């Protein structure tokens, strides 16, 4: 029969084991982006963090986009300038597009803060941080670094997803089904759901490291998340 002391020791070791497992799981899940081109800390993205972050606000992977204090926007501790460019948005050449497209907004505007070809990696929104001149379009070998401001030939973003009453006629998957997949649709606050850059690309936990895809597009699997063809 175990004594009170041995029972306490067993319980403590078990608790520490659970904590260690949880911490490892959390860290490995959260930091998947360390293997992607968004990891400027280790130079994976073409520049080292010391080069990009001339403000010296730390040396973490997160700090290129996020700041713990004095964030530049109301969005989640965003520490980088959002895009202020004027965009030419996608237009259907056959006039068959059912969704409504607006200028890139929300999460897409944040992505384009680096990828519109006009902003810089070190254009921080944080108060007191310097605005530098390291253009992401200069990252060698990255054909996806600079989308420019003409998005007419790219998959539409900031486009409304069909309402529940219309999805079948528009050959789309039930919005309730898509919305249940974390991060695939974005709410605008009035019940409308939109498709943004991050609908297809996962910044923190990409399933496919190449192009940061949320899931593989083998046999059009990613496309078929939303489209019924």
d(CA 216, CA 214): 7
Closest CA to 63 of 119, 124, 132, 138: 124
> Quick one: pLDDT band at residue 110, thresholds 50, 70, 90?
confident
Q: Tell me: the pLDDT tens digits for 144-196?
A: 677 889 999 899 999 999 999 899 999 999 999 999 888 899 987 788 999 99
d(CA 133, CA 154): 26
Cβ–Cβ under 8 Å, residues 124 and 79 = yes
> What pLDDT does 196 receive?
94
> What pLDDT does 120 receive?
67
Indicate whether 55 pLDDT > 50: no
φ/ψ of residue 123, rounded to 5: -90, 80
- DSSP alpha helix (H) spans, the chain: 4-30, 49-52, 106-115, 175-179, 197-200
Indicate whether 66 pLDDT > 90: no
């Amino acid at each position: 029969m175990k004594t009170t002391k041995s029972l306490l020791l067993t319980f403590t070791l078990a608790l520490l084991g659970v904590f260690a497992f949880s911490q490892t799981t959390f860290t490995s899940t959260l930091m998947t982006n360390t293997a992607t081109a968004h990891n400027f800390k280790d130079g994976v993205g073409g520049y080292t963090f010391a080069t990009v972050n001339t403000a010296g606000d730390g040396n973490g992977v997160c700090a290129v986009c996020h700041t713990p204090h004095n964030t530049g926007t109301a969005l989640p501790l965003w520490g980088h300038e959002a895009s202020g460019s004027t965009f030419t948005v996608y237009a259907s050449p056959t006039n068959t597009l059912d969704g409504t497209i607006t200028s890139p907004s929300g999460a897409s505007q944040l992505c384009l803060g680096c990828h519109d070809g006009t902003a810089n990696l070190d254009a921080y929104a944080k108060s007191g941080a310097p605005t530098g001149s390291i253009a992401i379009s200069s990252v060698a070998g990255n054909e996806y670094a600079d989308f420019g401001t003409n998005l007419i030939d790219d998959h539409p973003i900031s486009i409304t997803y069909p309402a529940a009453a219309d999805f079948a006629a528009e050959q789309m998957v039930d919005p309730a089904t898509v919305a249940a997949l974390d991060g695939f649709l974005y709410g605008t606050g009035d019940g409308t759901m939109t498709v943004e850059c991050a609908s297809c690309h996962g910044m923190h936990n990409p399933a496919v490291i190449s192009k940061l895809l949320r899931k593989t597009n083998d046999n059009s699997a990613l496309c078929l998340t939303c489209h019924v063809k």
